[in-house]
Structure 1
Amino acid sequence: MPDAPRLDRQVCFALYSASRAATAVYRPLLEELGLTYPQYLVMLVLWENEPRGVRELGEELGLDSGTLSPLLKRLEALGLVERRRSAEDERRVAVHLTGAGKALSSKASGVPQHLAAAAGLSPSELDQLRETLGKLTAALHGSL
């Protein structure tokens, strides 16, 4: 069947495989920090700028509240974040880093460099890849 789709020619499978491989490289580093990969992503967003609203976090990470709420509960149980209701609007909940959450940032600073080294790509190649994946993501979201 010459026209049959082939797994090795599927962009979706290449993305899936690369994502799983990157997560596997991160796993031991994140275990040392006491974080899962999704928890690490939440912490990255908060380290960039906090506090963040729960809705804002979900939008930035592409997570619905059913996925994000348990993540935040676990991070709160670890003593890394604190959720606070807004005094102006009790429907809004902001996520703040605790002292321990802020301190974890310096311990996590080497994680991206470890992935870059494992990937064997130059910084410019990684930047180009990230830009291409960003374009792909935006285009695919736009096609929905």
Structure 2
Amino acid sequence: MLKKDEELLVALRKIIRAIGMRSRQLSKEVGLTGPQLMILQKVGKQAGVMVREIAEDINLSSATVTNILDRMEARNLVERIRSTEDKRKVGVFLTKDGEQSLSTAPLPLQEHFTNRFKAMEEWEQSQMVATLQRIALMMDAQHVDASPILEVGNIIEK
């Protein structure tokens, strides 16, 4: 029988592995990372969206979103078009390849998780958040820069 600390470590390991497996599945099935898929979804819902709006919506910095968009544009998934009315504004649009990738992509892991989390009672959500924040503190991870994206590794790779 496992001790309580071992049970906790096994649960953490399962979470880490599940995130890694889902990331690899997404990459294998549609050639996208979780953040790329989230950006495709945002652009698919709001053609011409600005980088700042994408960044705010998915809780990443504008610089990170710009780096991801550079890679996506190089793969012909999105295109950035400068406004003819206001030259300072650049909108992001899906290409045909981007539309195809979006139509065949599964839900990002965090969206799947968030849907289940939101279905929980508020007290249960608060308890879960507090517990995981405490675990992060116990692992000296309180100062680790992280976005609310379930992805293993650097989010601007690919």
Report the TM-score range of the alignment, normalised by the length of the smaller protein: 0.5 to 0.7
TM-score, L = length of structure 2: 0.58
Aligned amino acid, residue 34 of structure 1: G
How many pairs were matched up? 119
Q: Name the SS for the 2:119 alignment partner.
A: helix
CA distance in 1, matches of 2:16, 2:84: 40
Q: Which residue of 1 aligns with 2:25?
A: 28
Determine if contact 1:79/1:100 at 8 Å carries over to the other structure. yes
1:27/1:37 contact within 8 Å kept:
no
| Aligned positions of 1:100-119 closer than 5 A | 100-108=97-105, 110-111=106-107
Runs (4+) of structure 1 exceeding 2 A deviation are 17-24, 29-32, 110-113, 124-127
What corresponds to 1:41 in structure 2? 38
Distance 1:72 1:20, change over 3 A: farther
> Is 1:128 paired with 2:111?
no
Q: TM-score, normalised by structure 1?
A: 0.62
What is the RMSD of the two structures over their aligned residues, measured on CA atoms? 3.8
**Contact 2:38/2:108 (CA < 8 Å) preserved in 1?**
no
Contact preservation (8 Å) 2:26, 2:34: no
Contact 2:23 2:33 in 1 (8 A): no
Q: Which protein is richer in helix relative to its size? A: 1
Q: Percent identity?
A: 35
3-state SS in 2 of match to 1:82: strand
Cα distance in 1, alignment partners of residues 17 and 52 from structure 2: 27
Q: Deviations over 1:29-59 (max 9, x none)?
A: 2332111121111112122222211111111
Paired residue type of 1:105: L
Residue of structure 1 in register with 2:153 after alignment: none
Letter aligned with residue 96 of structure 1: F
